[in-house]
Amino acid sequence: MATITGATRVFGILADPIAHVRTPALFNALLEEAGVDGVMVPIHVASNELASLWQGLRAMKSLGGLVVTVPHKSAILDLCDEVGDAARAIGAANVVRRTDDGHMICDMYDGKGFLEGMRAQGRDPAGRSVLLVGAGGAASAIAFALAEAGVESLTIANRTEAKAADLVARLSRHYPDGRFAVGQAVAGGHDIVVNGTALGLRPDDPLPIDLEGAGSDTIVADIIMKPEVTPLLAAARDAGLTTHGGIHMLRAQLRLLAEFVGALPRE
């Protein structure tokens, strides 16, 4: 890591838990490569303490911005002064820029990152049948990106069915010609299945998707980045299926996040 100076611009990532995050290492490598006097640090904060922390972050003049992850992506909207169009439609944000006067502006790039990560690996979801498990912030962002990309159909499965139904309703309003439905977390009948939940962060988590009935050409994707090979991806690999890890989503959006918070100039 480059030397920290009195002029170093500070960036943070908010999460709970936080030991699994890989963003700081990759973000700092990007800054070092660009010759930027900046550093990203992990900020571990529980949901019930987020609001009180926020006032301190506003007052932190050396703070450039924040990346936001589980479980704070939805709660952050009410704390920000300005919400981008994507974040407003999705109902969650994953990045915040702090202006010089403490004004907090947020937006969402998870969906774009996931989509571009898939395409970079030669796995364009356009025209494909997709199952997405989860209806939280990241999953909602991915759902909107998949709809925008022109998937043939999108099925949402979630532990709380009402949240899945709400997401389907929001998708239908924005994309009236799309095919969206609430369904079960079973891979059979889908070309691509995506875990958009936090299941897999802990070794004793149940598998978020039943791989029963998956065809030999089914792509199994996970948004979790650490472990790099989640239990779901390991099970899919053992079944001879194509796997797609969460690191692709992060790498695809990393520069976009750095540009949004002002760490790097916009290209």
Q: Which residues are catalytic?
A: 73
Q: How many CA atoms lie within 13 A of 43 on its CB side?
A: 23
How many degrees, rounded to 5, is the angle at CA 180 between CA 179 and CA 181?
130
Strand-strand pairing, 63-68 and 242-244: unpaired
Distance, CA of 57 to chain centre: 22
DSSP 8-state secondary structure symbol assigned to residue 3: P
Neighbours of 223 (CB within 10 A): 28
Q: Please report where in the chains the tokens 């065809």 appear, as a residue.
A: 215
Distance CA 168, CA 165 (A): 5
Beta bridge partners of 39: 10
Residue 77 and residue 87: Cα distance in Å, rounded? 8
Cα 200 from Cα 262, distance rounded (Å): 32
Q: Where are the beta strands (DSSP E) in the chain?
A: 9-15, 38-44, 63-68, 82-83, 95-98, 104-107, 129-133, 153-157, 180-182, 192-195, 219-222, 242-244
Residues 93/141, Cβ–Cβ less than 8 Å: no
